[in-house]
Amino acid sequence: MTGSAANELRIAVVGSGPSGFYTTEALLRSGAPVTIDMFERLPVPYGLVRFGVAPDHPKLKQVTMAFDRIAKAPGFRFIGGVKVGDDVTVDELREAYDAVVLATGAELSRPLGIPGEALPGSHSAGDFVAWYNGHPEFRDLQFDLDHEAAIVVGHGNVALDVARILAKTADELRQTDIARHALEVLAESRIREISIVGRGGPAQAKFSAKELRDFLELSACDTAVDGRDVAPDEFEPLNPGDPELIEKLSLLRGFSQHAVTKPRRCLVRFGLSPVAIKGRGRVETISFGQRSGAVEDIACGLVFSSVGRRTTPVAGVPYDDDRGVHANMDGRVANGGSVIEGLYVCGWSKRGPSGTIGTNRGCGIATAEAVLADIAHRRPRTDTPEALLSRVVSRVARIVSYPDWGTIDAAEKRRGAALGKPREKFVTIPDMLAAVDA
Amino acid sequence: MTYVVTDNCRGCRYTECVTVCPVECFHVDEAMTYIDPENCIDCGGCAPACPVGAIEPDYRLAADKKYWIDVNRKRAAETPVISARLAPLPGADERKLALGR
């Protein structure tokens, strides 16, 4: 902490994913006398970089080096293991800090909203991702992979992540940081056919060409596009100046012409809207409406829906139900048309789940500008962070600092090294806390 | 792989890329920006952010643009990191129009 000058601005950031870190960076670099307390409900930071980015995308995870650099700046403090809205309220934070920035992401999966969605075997892709990435709150979910066919509903990058993890052999995943419990289940998987099904045509698919390219390199899985779904001219880009779209359509066209020889296959399907999930006691088929209006039933033992995410509402923060985010006007939390003083949002909990990791950097800069523009008119604090934290410490098992996280991190890397993995994550909170004291 | 800044950047240098780069791998000189291939994590955020379509993944470059891979590597090593957006160069908007963007 850099002293306690009277003009010092104390800011709480809630959430330690990309948008929380980039807003922190922008505030600390502003030249204003700012200190940041970053609240995180888990003992470990990085949000979706740890629990969302696929284990076989290690290069993307190197972004954590940028987060660690931000965390080393004077004036930064990590307050892990404290859940805002539960262990401490938003109103308590607002009394103790000059500004509170919510960077809480979009954790809730949107439902398909069709009959049969609650049948065993029907899952949300987000839950599966959090499970294979070792999120403590998802670690105990059960995924029964003792079926031949799985269907992923959705055409975004998360849908491709899920399909690719299902398509890979245990040997292709063994040296990633995938959670051990997930690797054990995936190693016993009987899944041979994975359909990735979306409503639109090839040009409407939201996944990126880069994610699609990963399917060229699967050791035991061919990727195919069902020619019945797509008219040949749908592989022609309407905008010839869009290299991303050109590459995506060219990859899909290639998949449509590809011979299928490997033991597993991914089928990318287009123009199909899910109507109902059916089965006696568990998922057996999904009925899809075709563009023609006809209904096609596809047999499967597992469904993963990947049709978007919403921010989890936080007590004391108005919610925008249409957009699925904390209600805000350009980063200022607002109830109807009236701004709630001292309360801000950034990242996915501000603008919804879109963009790449770096999109949150621009978003964080914008929120930081709003915070600093308002702060001259702030109302005086009625509490101090120190007094608040002295009360909070008795409400939680332990407050985890950034050096504590460094201890957990080192322990995970040691466990991983013995297995040829970059790390073996701790997947329960007690195990994380035990590593701090080991 | 890495992402690469190519000739469309010259004379514009909008630096929208810098704002969205999560790892600050952009370098800059008086003419354009360059990506440090050692630090780029292939997130792909910069390519759609560029108003003039100057940025591509290396594998997607046309044969006559492949030399930009080496230019980026070399110039990134010789020039400073840029961590915040700059004003575009004078005449950037005219050049953008001329590029058909």
Cβ of B57 within 8 Å of Cβ of A210? The answer is yes
Q: How confident is the model at residue A337 (pLDDT cuts 50, 70, 90)?
A: confident
Please, which pLDDT band fits residue A283 given cuts at 50, 70 and 90?
very high
Our CA-based measurement puts residue A298 at a distance from the nearest CA of chain B, in whole angstroms, of: 34
Alpha helices in A223-314, H assignment, sequence order: 243-256
Q: pLDDT > 70: what percent of chain A?
A: 99
Instruction: Please give the helix or strand (H or E) that residue A76 lies within, else none.
Output: strand A76-80
Contacts of A211 in chain B (CB under 8 A): none
Closest CA–CA distance from residue A288 to any residue of chain B (Å): 33
H or E element: which one contains A390? helix A385-392
Taking an 8 Å cut-off on Cβ atoms, the answer to whether B44 and A241 are in contact is: no
Beta-ladder partners of B56: B4
The whole-chain average pLDDT of chain A stands at 96
Enumerate residues 6+ apart whose C-beta is below 8 A from A196. Answer: A152, A154, A155, A159, A160, A163, A266, A267, A268, A269
Task: Name every chain B residue with its beta carbon within 8 A of the beta carbon of A22.
Answer: 22
Whole-Å CA distances, A255 to A158, A236, A252, A267, A390: 20, 15, 5, 9, 59
pLDDT at residue B38, rounded to an integer: 96
Q: Are strands A221-225 and A264-269 parallel, antiparallel or unpaired?
A: parallel
Alpha-carbon gap, residue A229 to A55, rounded angstroms: 31
Residues in chain B, how many?
101
pTM: 0.96
Rounded CA-CA distance A203/A151 in Å is 21
Out of B19, B43, B56, the one facing A243 most closely (by C-beta) is B56
Quote the pLDDT of residue B65: 96
Chain B environment of A359 (Cβ under 8 Å): 20, 45
* Interval A369-414: pLDDT, tens: 999 999 988 888 999 999 999 999 999 999 999 999 999 999 999 9
Are the Cβ atoms of A210 and B44 closer than 8 angstroms?
yes
For range A192-217, the mean pLDDT? 97
Asked whether the CA dihedral B44, B95, B97, A351 is positive or negative, the reply is positive
Residues of A near B (Cβ–Cβ under 8 Å) read 18, 22, 29, 59-60, 62-63, 65-66, 208, 210, 241, 243-244, 247, 355-362, 365
In chain B, residues with a C-beta closer than 8 Å to the C-beta of A65 are 23
**Chain A positions in Cβ-Cβ contact with residue B53 (cut-off 8 Å):** 241, 243
Q: What is the DSSP letter of A77?
A: E
Residue partners of A386: CB distance under 8 A and separation at least 6: none
For position A344, what pLDDT does the model report?
A: 98
Distance from CA of B77 to the nearest CA of A (A): 19
Please give the DSSP secondary-structure letter assigned to residue A27.
H
In the predicted structure, residue A2 carries a pLDDT above the cut 70: no
In this model, does residue A3 exceed pLDDT 60?
no
- C-alpha dihedral over A84, A86, A92, A96, to 10 degrees? -40
In this structure, which amino acid lies at residue A7?
Answer: N
Chain B residue numbers with beta carbons less than 8 Å from the beta carbon of A59 are: 41-42
- ipTM, interface predicted TM-score of the complex: 0.94
Least CB–CB distance from B41: residue in A22, A63, A359: A63
- Test the B interface: residue of A23, A61, A210, A249 with most B CBs within 10 Å: A210
Q: Nearest 5°: CA angle at A122, between A118 and A125? A: 120
All residues of chain B having their beta carbon less than 8 Å from the beta carbon of residue A355 are 45
Give the 3-state secondary structure of residue A267. Answer: strand
Interatomic CA distance for residues A99 and A270, integer angstroms: 46
Minimal-distance CA residue of chain A relative to B49? A359
